[in-house]
Amino acid sequence: MKKSVPLYMISDAVGETSLKLVNAVTAQFPDVDFDMSYRFPFMKDEAELKEILSDALKDGAIVVTTLVSSNLTKIVAEFCSRTGLQYIDLMCPFMDIIYQKTGVEPLQEAGTVHKLNQEYFNRVEAIEFAVKYDDGKDPKGFMEADIVLLGISRTSKTPLSMYLANNRYKVANLPLIPEVPLPEQIKQVPKEKLVGLVIEPETQQKIRTSRLHSLGLQENSRYADIKRIKDELDYALGVFDELGAFSLDVTNKSIEEAATLIAEYMDSNLPD
């Protein structure tokens, strides 16, 4: 069985720099399963950064940062020094060397490495859209989205939204809870934009139990009860049928694999 290592990638810009380097490095370890779904672009808020670092510590993750803000960099360094969380800073050591060599201060402006072309702006817009309309926060986003992901808790809706956003898809997602009525707006979305995520109950139970454990909560709660999970999945399948959503089984699929299948489905529904 492969050893699993979560990677938390944190950036105050899009985060492409860290992703490219991480992909190059992880390719050298084919027998390790790297979970790269934890991506946090456009980081500006110090409180949010501290919360993400706490989650990374609980998950036993490696943190990779491309932060040009000295304040945010200091927070990461102090947190990791205090807690033993492993991290690598891809920006500051190089900037420090250039400063020592030239005496020229860095700009500390995020995103200056990218050309400001239309493709870049579209990617930024899609990422901001995914953040704004994550977790059903605002039903108005459903009609504006290229893709709307539906699924019960812990079916990778948010990581998939962010991954697809990096490929310039505007993605909203909606958690399905049997006790919560569907918003009326979701019923107006063309079925070609709807993707329902399903997962094997036993796999879902393991994921939820692990999540509870990482939060220090009781593992025998209703949230991880197999009967409850099956009931939620039955409800979700009923919603998919009602709305005509494309159903995708994400059991044991990486974020990249699931996102590729979703993108292929969307492309197949483009008008000729």
Is 158 a known ligand-binding residue?
yes
Is 74 a known ligand-binding residue?
no
Candidates 44, 27, 34, 29; CA nearest to 64 is: 34
> Is the distance from CB of 62 to CB of 39 less than 8 angstroms?
no
Give Rg (Cα) of the chain: 20
Is 65 a known ligand-binding residue?
no
Is 157 a known ligand-binding residue?
yes
Give the three-state DSSP class for 62.
strand
**Paired sense of beta strands 62-66 and 32-40, if any:** unpaired
Distance between CA 22 and CA 57 in Å, rounded?
19
Candidates 58, 72, 55, 63; CA nearest to 8 is: 63
Give Cβ neighbours of residue 225 (< 8 Å, ≥ 6 apart): none
Is 155 a known ligand-binding residue?
yes
Give the DSSP H/E element, type plus range, for residue 63.
strand 62-66
Is 253 a known ligand-binding residue?
no
Is 168 a known ligand-binding residue?
no
Instruction: Round to the nearest angstrom and report the end-to-end CA distance of the chain.
Output: 45
Is 251 a known ligand-binding residue?
no
Distance between CA 167 and CA 75 in Å, rounded?
30
Summarize the annotated binding site for ADP as residue ranges: 151-158
Q: Which residues are annotated as a binding site?
A: 151-158
